[in-house]
Amino acid sequence: VTEATLWVGGRVFTGRRYVEALLVEDGRVAAAGTLDATRRVAPTGAERQELGGALVVPGLVDAHLHLGELAREGPDLVSARSLDALLERIGVWSTEHPSGPIVGRGWSEEWLGLGRLPNAADLDRLSTDRPVVLYHASGHAAWLNRRALELEGLSARLSSFPAAMVPRGSDGAPVGLLLEDAVGPLARALEEATAPPLEAFARTVRGLASLGLTRVGTMSTGPREAEALRSLDRAGKLSLTVRAYPRLVRLGDFPERLLAHRSARLAFVGVKAFLDGAFGPRTAWLSEPYADASDRSGIALGDPTTLAEALRAAEARGFPPALHAIGDAAVDRAVRLLAEHGEKAGPPARIEHVALTPPGTLGRLDRVRPALVVQPGFVWSDRWLRDRLGPERVRWAYRFRTLLDLGHLVAGSSDAPYDPVDPWRGIRAAVDRRDPLGASANPLPSEALSPEEAVSLYTVRAAAALGDPSEGSLEPGSSGDLVVLGAPHLRGAMRAPGPPVRETWIGGRRAFAGPGPAETV
Ligand SMILES: [Zn+2]
């Protein structure tokens, strides 16, 4: 018995074209075209779904986020504008959540106006018996209380780091701030102390479906997150498709059988490694110094020879690289490391972020052509980028139009929780460049995409970057993952005040239904 659904009475954007009707059979698209042609091939007994003028788009795909971090609930610090405000917010949250570590994110030294480095004593005012860990808005720094510095195994792992990554006091002890590579051992110690419970994962995954997401790439996966995902998958509770990228340096911590797990919903498809930091803390590796700090040009992470060897070993086990590179010097190094990757079957080699691409870097990228996994939402979030890069160089940041025109596989993603997970925010940032208040990292209209192109970044192209090139569209053969929007046009949907998602269907089943009927925007 086939399960068939015939979608009529609206419009369907397949990822390539607009059609009148869509037929999904046993979870896969069987036909997309005119109403007559689609109706003719539908089996008798097909369930008819009336769209009432609404638009259907393929299920959205986020090629780079962090599920384990998203599932770890904690206080939101983004709008705290002083140390007292920050401590008060965490205090309220910790009263409501009385046990376990307190892990918050979203602070920035500029917003707090401290005028000095944050330290452990600041957070000891909150608690001396619960670990307190606050991630910087960029994710590239963490602020800890004394108890968090005492997490099992952490101080041993930090002992070899230079003062630039682990600032120490006159007594030689870490002051409570970890930067760049030193954040890695912390994430590991935290994961070992308390993995987020399965329920939190299941809840997080359901929340993603409410935004229209049906497939995600989860980056820098640790073994406990991976085990949680596998348990959910085996229990039939993984309601969307997950492709996981363990962190290269932790590959040895994974049991071989865990990495070999492969189902329709969950597979481990690559490894993640860092080549530089981020623009916010001026650690993205630039070929010329920062415009607002002429003595700094960021930092290069990892020894190229060791990295190349580790990447080759991972590749030989079937895990192609996903290299974090934000500054142009880091992108150049990524291209050199990937030059020997060559054409292979399976998931593509990728560069994550690939934020700054001056003409020379574009030329080098052209010869290697990895998948380029970008975060359009950063165009809104990095509103201060012109200060960092100066007025000339900033025009080379977040060049989505240029990269698409050069024929690159450009995939959309959020990097959540380090930026909002809502894909509609990213789609709108890729189209409008400026946020509703007019701010932008690089507002150049010549880098703007059409709404259809922006959606393609978050559907077909992102699926291809995750190694599923026949997914992410509503053309025949693709899985029938789809989103019914609460608007008849992409432009209207994009500008809706909230996520414009009326229903999300995964594998031919309804995974999310919003509260009201379609609004006509
Ligand atoms: Zn990331």
Residue 65 CA to ligand 1 centre (angstroms): 6
Residue 427 CA to ligand 1 centre (angstroms): 18
Residue 419 CA to ligand 1 centre (angstroms): 9
Residue 140 CA to ligand 1 centre (angstroms): 10
What tokens were used for 242? 């997950």
Beta pairing class for 132-136 and 141-144: antiparallel
Residue 71 CA to ligand 1 centre (angstroms): 15
3 state DSSP class of 519? coil
Q: What does DSSP assign to residue 26?
A: T
Residue 414 CA to ligand 1 centre (angstroms): 8
Q: What does DSSP assign to residue 268?
A: E
Q: In 108-222, which ranges are continuous DSSP H helix?
A: 109-112, 120-124, 146-149, 154-158, 183-193, 198-209
Could you write out the DSSP letters of every residue in 32-66?
A: EE-HHHHHHHSPTTPEEEE-TT-EEEEPEEEEEE-
Residue 141 CA to ligand 1 centre (angstroms): 13
Residue 245 CA to ligand 1 centre (angstroms): 11
CA atoms within 13 A on the CB side of 192: 13
pLDDT of res. 323: 97
Residue 41 CA to ligand 1 centre (angstroms): 44
Q: What angle (nearest 5°) sits at the alpha carbon of residue 479, between those of residues 29 and 11?
A: 50
Residue 55 CA to ligand 1 centre (angstroms): 31
- Tell me how far apart the alpha carbons of residues 60 and 459 are, in angstroms, rounded to a whole number: 5
Angle between helices 359-368 and 328-338 (to 10 degrees): 20
What tokens were used for 374? 């970008």
Residue 64 CA to ligand 1 centre (angstroms): 6
What tokens were used for 150? 């005492």
- Tell me how far apart the alpha carbons of residues 101 and 497 are, in angstroms, rounded to a whole number: 34
Residue 518 CA to ligand 1 centre (angstroms): 34
List b or e across 263-275, with b for residues whose CB sees 16 or more CB atoms inside 10 angstroms.
eebbbbbbbbbbb
Q: What angle (nearest 5°) sits at the alpha carbon of residue 409, between those of residues 403 and 413?
A: 90
Residue 112 CA to ligand 1 centre (angstroms): 24
CA atoms within 13 A on the CB side of 26: 4
Strands annotated E in 85-156? 102-107, 132-136, 141-144
Q: Report the candidate in 220, 469, 398 with the shortest Cα–Cα distance to residue 322.
A: 220
Residue 489 has phi, psi (to 5 degrees) of -135, 155
Residue 374 CA to ligand 1 centre (angstroms): 10
Q: Report the candidate in 119, 123, 135 with the shortest Cα–Cα distance to residue 94.
A: 123
Residue 198 CA to ligand 1 centre (angstroms): 22
Residue 353 CA to ligand 1 centre (angstroms): 8
Residue 74 CA to ligand 1 centre (angstroms): 18
Residue 350 CA to ligand 1 centre (angstroms): 13
Beta pairing class for 18-19 and 102-107: unpaired
pLDDT of res. 13: 98
Residue 172 CA to ligand 1 centre (angstroms): 31
Residue 415 CA to ligand 1 centre (angstroms): 5
pLDDT of res. 401: 98
Global pTM reads 0.89
Residue 142 CA to ligand 1 centre (angstroms): 15
pLDDT in tens, 195-234: 777 888 888 998 999 999 999 999 999 888 899 999 999 9
- Give Cβ neighbours of residue 460 (< 8 Å, ≥ 6 apart): 15, 16, 58, 471, 472, 473
Residue 218 CA to ligand 1 centre (angstroms): 9
Q: Report the candidate in 143, 142, 139 with the shortest Cα–Cα distance to residue 64.
A: 139
Q: What does DSSP assign to residue 298?
A: -
Residue 447 CA to ligand 1 centre (angstroms): 23
- Tell me how far apart the alpha carbons of residues 274 and 293 are, in angstroms, rounded to a whole number: 23
Q: 434-439 — which CB contacts under 8 Å span 24+ positions?
A: 434/380, 435/380, 435/383, 439/380, 439/383
Please report where in the chains the tokens 């865990």 appear, as a residue: 258
Centre a 10 Å sphere on the Cβ of residue 370 and count the other Cβ atoms it contains: 24
Residue 352 CA to ligand 1 centre (angstroms): 8
Which amino acid is present at 142? A
32 beta partners: 22
- Tell me how far apart the alpha carbons of residues 409 and 394 are, in angstroms, rounded to a whole number: 22
pLDDT in tens, 345-404: 789 999 999 999 999 999 999 999 999 999 999 999 999 999 999 999 999 999 999 999
Residue 391 CA to ligand 1 centre (angstroms): 27
Q: In 235-358, which ranges are continuous DSSP H helix?
A: 256-259, 304-316, 328-338
Cis ω for the linkage preceding 417 (within 30 of 0): yes
Q: What is the largest CA-CA distance in the chain?
A: 79
3 state DSSP class of 294? coil
pLDDT of res. 142: 94
Residue 407 CA to ligand 1 centre (angstroms): 24
Residue 372 CA to ligand 1 centre (angstroms): 13
Beta pairing class for 241-246 and 213-221: parallel
- Tell me how far apart the alpha carbons of residues 454 and 461 are, in angstroms, rounded to a whole number: 10
- Tell me how far apart the alpha carbons of residues 289 and 297 are, in angstroms, rounded to a whole number: 4
pLDDT of res. 159: 87
pLDDT of res. 343: 66
Residue 236 has phi, psi (to 5 degrees) of 70, 20
Q: Report the candidate in 479, 521, 516, 503 with the shortest Cα–Cα distance to residue 211.
A: 503
Residue 419 has phi, psi (to 5 degrees) of -150, 160
Counting as low any pLDDT under 70, the low residues of the chain are 1, 341-343, 515-521
Residue 170 CA to ligand 1 centre (angstroms): 34
Residue 273 CA to ligand 1 centre (angstroms): 10
Q: What does DSSP assign to residue 305?
A: H
